Chains A and B, each alone.
Chain A
Amino acid sequence: MTATTMTLAATEAPVADYRPPLRARLSRLVLPVYTALAVAYLFLPIAVMIAFSFNNPRGRQNITWQGFTFQNYLDIWSRPDITNPMLQSLIVAVVSTILATILGTLIGLALTRYRFVGRNTTNILIFLPMATPEIIMGASLLSLWVSLGVSRSLVTIIIAHVMFNISYVVVTIRARLQGFDRGLEEAAMDLGADEWTTFRKVTFPLIFPGILAAALLAFALSIDDYVITSFVAGKTITFPLWVYGVSRLGVPPEVNVLGTMIFVVAFLAIAAQVLWQRRQARRQLIPSRAP
Chain B
Amino acid sequence: MTAVVRRLRWVVPYLFLLPGGLWLLIFFVVPMAVMASISLQTGSLGTGYTLTWNFGIYPEAISQFATQFLRSFEYGIIVTILTLLIGYPIAYTIAFRGGRAKNILLLLVILPFFTSFIIRTLAWKLILADQGFILGTLKSWGLLPDSFGLIATPISVISGLVYNFLPFMVLPVYVAIEKIDQRLVEAANDLYASRFQSFLRVTLPLSMPGVFAGSLLTFIPSVGDFVNATILGSRDTTMIGNVIQSRFLDFNDFPRASALGFVLMAAILAMVLVYARLVGSDELTSG
Contacts and interface: CB of A to CB of B under 8 A. Distances in A.
A139 B116 contact: no
Interface stretch (B14-22, B61-69, B138-146, B202-210): B14-22
Contacts of B126: 48, 52, 62-63, 251
Contacts of A247: 118, 122, 231
B31 A141 contact: yes
B257 interface: yes
Interface in A140-163: 140-144, 146-147, 159-160, 162-163
B238 to A, nearest CB: 14
Interface string A266-290: 1100100010000000000000000
A43 B166 CA distance: 13
Interface in A238-279: 239-240, 243-244, 247, 251, 255-256, 258-259, 262-263, 266-267, 270, 274
Interface residues of B, number: 88
B273 to A, nearest CB: 12
Contact of A259 (B27, B108, B115): B115
B166 A42 contact: yes
Summarize B's interface: helix, strand, loop or mixed.
Answer: helix
B17 A107 contact: yes
Interface in B103-159: 103-105, 107-109, 111-112, 114-120, 122-127, 129, 131-133, 136
Contacts of A127: 284-285
Interface of A: 3-4, 7-8, 31-32, 34-35, 38-39, 41-46, 48-49, 52, 62-65, 102-104, 106-107, 109-110, 113-114, 116, 120, 122-137, 139-144, 146-147, 159-160, 162-163, 166-167, 170, 175, 220, 224, 226-227, 230-231, 239-240, 243-244, 247, 251, 255-256, 258-259, 262-263, 266-267, 270, 274
15 contacts: A34-B93, A35-B93, A38-B89, A42-B112, A45-B112, A64-B131, A135-B225, A135-B241, A136-B265, A142-B248, A163-B27, A224-B117, A226-B116, A259-B119, A274-B104
